[in-house]
A and B are shown apart, each in its own frame.
Chain A
């Protein structure tokens, strides 16, 4: 290694420049390739522990708000539970009960000012996290896991111009795809919604059931504005319910039936 260094340091500056810039360019192109995590990412031991230490210090400042949010979530879950007890079980409860498992994690790095935002979580393989798992909040979708190491993982944020998430209008069950256009962190755009879907400003958008990554019906946001074109909706603006500038506790969704569904879908595609 020292010899290589010596060779370059004795030789032309331009040669070294071109070499270093091409390496950087390879990494840049790699991150713009959606399904592939970057070779250099924060799910390594050094970056992860630095981020975790910084997060530990700064999260003290918002402990009160975090507590309030968790209590609120607890309250709604308890209400749901007490409503459930008095309901006779009708359909087979097994698929809905055991299809998903939630793994709690903390966001230790939460960039939201860039265009290709990628979050870092403090849980990894050791906690059962794998790539392509959904990350959710009680009132929103956070993203999809990308790189996973032993103790850390990175998440392709919904606030990443490469993200596209299946969503539907809650009352009419029409599907579209949710997409962030790089603007404000509270705003997104709903695309490909059929014109038959009668929408109004204020309608709730929830996660659609078409994705095998996210459970159906997680609230995402509401329609804040839309423009009607001749044959389709020109633009539908969505405002998120969740505040993505202050993320702390999130849940990673493990879908037990994912492999089964995926292999079945592949089989049908091949036929």
Chain B
């Protein structure tokens, strides 16, 4: 447990810093930056601690929003996917005793892991860009930006999974 606190505490500090110092300056195709900090939501253990994660996500979002001057868009999108993440996984895995069997994303098959990450990333990015624009004007552009940025983020997160979750599998 102590080891967990140390690992996720470190991630909680490092991920936003990495985001603002490196990944906010990618400007792929002129306007695409991946949002890798959401990997925190995916690797965080799935136990009876969703409220802690909500608070942590809220603080992380506020920090990112204050540095980038984007109001509350990161906070809003991040808290939203944290709220729905367990329910989503429950639906995807379709397990009856979900609470007993699943404690981490590594307890789920790889294809379901990817599906979960892809769906949550798409929702996060859509909310992020929608809140930034705050209107339905230019909706096509919004969807395109969501789609392109999501691809970039998902690829990086899947790479990140190899790194974070190595040796943590339930084998």
Binding site for B on A (CB under 8 A): 5, 8-9, 13, 16-17, 20-21, 23-32, 38, 40-42, 44, 47, 50-51, 54, 58, 109, 111, 113-116, 118, 120, 154, 182, 184-185, 245
Contact = CB atoms under 8 A, between A and B. Distances in A.
A113 B31 contact: yes
Contacts of A13: 50-51, 54, 83
A223 to B, nearest CB: 22
Contact of B70 (A9, A50, A114, A184): A114
Interface of B: 17, 20-21, 24-25, 27, 30-33, 50-52, 54-55, 58, 61-62, 65-73, 75-76, 79-80, 83, 131-134, 138, 141
A28 B50 contact: no
A24 B75 contact: yes
Among B21, B31, B68, the most chain A Cβ lie within 10 Å of the Cβ of B68
Nearest to A12: B51
19 contacts: A8-B51, A16-B51, A21-B76, A23-B75, A24-B58, A27-B65, A28-B71, A28-B73, A31-B71, A50-B17, A54-B21, A109-B68, A109-B69, A113-B30, A114-B68, A116-B132, A118-B69, A154-B69, A182-B141
A154 B71 CA distance: 13
Nearest to A37: B69
B144 to A, nearest CB: 13
Given A20-B79, A40-B62, A115-B132, A27 B71 contact: yes
A54 to B, nearest CB: 5
A200 B45 CA distance: 63
Among A29, A116, A182, the most chain B Cβ lie within 10 Å of the Cβ of A116
A31 B73 CA distance: 10
Contact of A41 (B52, B55, B66, B75): B66
B51 A24 contact: no
Nearest to A155: B69
Contacts of A29: 71
Among B52, B75, B141, the most chain A Cβ lie within 10 Å of the Cβ of B75
